[in-house]
Structure 1
Amino acid sequence: MNELLASVLRAHGGLERWETFGEVMATVVSGGELLDRKAPQSPEPRRVTVGTKAQTSLITPFGAADKLARFTPSRVTVEALDGKVLTERKNPRDHFGGHDLDTPWDPLDRAYFGGYTQWIYLNTPFALALPGVTVEEETPLRQGEETWRALRVTFPPTIVSHSPVQKFFFGDDFLLRRQDYTLDIAGGGYVANYAFDLSGSNGLLIPNRRRAYLCDGNYQVLKDRLLIWIDYADIKFS
């Protein structure tokens, strides 16, 4: 295993501990420019459950108190609470062809985006050790008074995310600081996603806040372009 990744996994609680769990649950509140443009949503908290090994998620409520959204890379659904499928889309990634930051999303687009983002955020950095994921250390990033070491991560086709290749940055304590990617489902804009307030859940450290900013082509942050903000509470592995 890559030396930096091994240190990162230990700092966040250990891969062996994470592998004993099958899912992660959290209460989520989110907003930001991207959601305002794409699919304005009500501000109430939502409960998210994501798998650890399989890329799955469940979000409830979704659009209404009696609905939920279910995600896998190959299919998304909006369902009634009794499991009745109200609407579905197979191969949902294909539906984003030609989209840019201003292209509206329908509920299934939003379910897909929410599903894969919550899966990667709640499983980082442990998902970087899954089969088929490749990592290599790259040039560190100087941020204020700190220097953050960097991992260039390439996800296999079986794991959907913002983009196949991303960079993850870690402080001297080996804890997650930032995640860079292109937002491929919205025209490929450059994004820097900062992680804050890591705290313990079942012995594992997960960020309680994320702030994702649009960047220029050199990943210089545009501080007035907060695309997504996410606040987590009650994170629990089971």
Structure 2
Amino acid sequence: MDVLAKRIIDAHGGIDHWRSFKTVTAHLVQGGALWGLKGKAGVLDDTNVTVDLRREHASHAPFGDAARKSSFTPDLVELQNGKGDTIEALPQPRASFAGHTLETPWNDLQLAYFAGIAMWTYLTMPFLLAEDGVESAALGTWREKDETWQRLQVRFPANIATHSTEQTLYVGDDGLLRRHDYDVEIAGNTPGAHYVSGYREVQGILFPTKRRIYPRQPDGQSLAEPLVVSIDLDHITLG
């Protein structure tokens, strides 16, 4: 593992402590332009998410209404009722996004896939850097406003479903993440700059509770608007 990657992981609570847990659950309040652009305004504005720390799985509940929840894995997305019975299913979901642009609407199962890869990635980062097949390398410094951040380039193996194969993390002097860049492959490779803040300690692990995602320009600078996605987290628990 890259030295910077290890420093980031240690600052967030350490890999040994992280691996003593199996799940993360959080309450989400979400906003931003993306949901309406995709024809899904309001579906996941106020929901809860649970992610599995031993395999790539996430579930949002409620999903649009109290009678539905989602189940995401890289190979299968389902919408289920309260008893866990499948209402709808989409095998090999990533293939369904072929030819999509940022403006292409999503159906509910595609929304569940996007929400699944997003929250699983966000809630397992930076500990995801220690997973088999994940490669990372320091990129040098980046100046943003009055701060200087270290950058870490990350490359994910094909078996991990996430926004894009290559992503960039930005870290402050304290080892905590400040920003997370990626291209949303399933939305026409749309570039995003994802800012994180509002860290809170939960059972010995540090989590950012405020996430704001903006468009990213070719030179790496972010635009001040539109706000693409906002995510505020509370009631975070490790199980």
**What SS does the corresponding residue of 1:127 show, helix, strand or coil?**
helix
Tell me what 1:27 maps to: 27
8 Å contact from structure 1 (residues 147, 171) kept in 2: yes
Does residue 14 of the first structure (1) align with residue 44 of the second (2)? no
Q: Distance in 2 between matches of 1:104 and 1:152?
A: 31
Counterparts of 1:141-220 in structure 2 under 5 Å?
141-220=142-221
Counterparts of 1:116-155 in structure 2 under 5 Å?
116-155=117-156
**What SS does the corresponding residue of 1:70 show, helix, strand or coil?**
strand
Q: Distance in 1 between matches of 2:220 and 2:102?
A: 17
Q: Distance in 2 between matches of 1:44 and 1:99?
A: 23
Q: Distance in 2 between matches of 1:29 and 1:86?
A: 25
Listed as ranges, the gaps of 5+ residues in structure 2 are none
The structure-2 alpha-carbon separation of the partners of 1:44 and 1:117, relative to structure 1 and needing over 3 Å to count, comes to closer
The structure-2 alpha-carbon separation of the partners of 1:191 and 1:44, relative to structure 1 and needing over 3 Å to count, comes to closer
Shift in Å, 1:139: 2.4
The structure-2 alpha-carbon separation of the partners of 1:194 and 1:44, relative to structure 1 and needing over 3 Å to count, comes to closer
Does residue 66 of the first structure (1) align with residue 67 of the second (2)? yes
Shift in Å, 1:43: 6.3
8 Å contact from structure 2 (residues 30, 45) kept in 1: no
8 Å contact from structure 2 (residues 27, 49) kept in 1: yes
Tell me what 1:85 maps to: 86
8 Å contact from structure 1 (residues 191, 219) kept in 2: no
Q: Deviations over 1:105-138 (max 9, x none)?
A: 1000100001110001111100111111000000
8 Å contact from structure 1 (residues 73, 92) kept in 2: yes
Q: Distance in 2 between matches of 1:68 and 1:222?
A: 34
The structure-2 alpha-carbon separation of the partners of 1:35 and 1:176, relative to structure 1 and needing over 3 Å to count, comes to same
Q: Distance in 1 between matches of 2:220 and 2:98?
A: 24
* TM-score, length-scaled by structure 2: 0.97
Tell me what 2:50 maps to: 49
8 Å contact from structure 1 (residues 190, 219) kept in 2: no
Q: Deviations over 1:57-104 (max 9, x none)?
A: 111000211110000000000010111100000000001111111110
Q: Distance in 2 between matches of 1:71 and 1:193?
A: 22
Shift in Å, 1:45: 2.1
Tell me what 1:98 maps to: 99
* TM-score, length-scaled by structure 1: 0.97
CA-atom RMSD in angstroms: 1.0
> Could you tell which deviates more after superposition, 215-224 or 86-95?
215-224
Aligned AA for 1:10?
D
Shift in Å, 1:211: 0.3
Aligned AA for 1:148?
W
Aligned AA for 2:107?
D
Q: Distance in 2 between matches of 1:237 and 1:43?
A: 22
Does residue 5 of the first structure (1) align with residue 14 of the second (2)? no
Identity level (%): 37
Shift in Å, 1:219: 2.1
Aligned AA for 2:174?
D
Listed as ranges, the gaps of 5+ residues in structure 1 are none
| Count of residues paired in the alignment | 238
Q: Distance in 2 between matches of 1:224 and 1:118?
A: 22
Q: Deviations over 1:39-61 (max 9, x none)?
A: 21246521110011211011100
Q: Deviations over 1:177-202 (max 9, x none)?
A: 00001111111111100001011111
Aligned AA for 2:137?
E
Q: Distance in 2 between matches of 1:27 and 1:191?
A: 23
Q: Deviations over 1:113-170 (max 9, x none)?
A: 0111000111110011111100000021101121110110001111111101000010
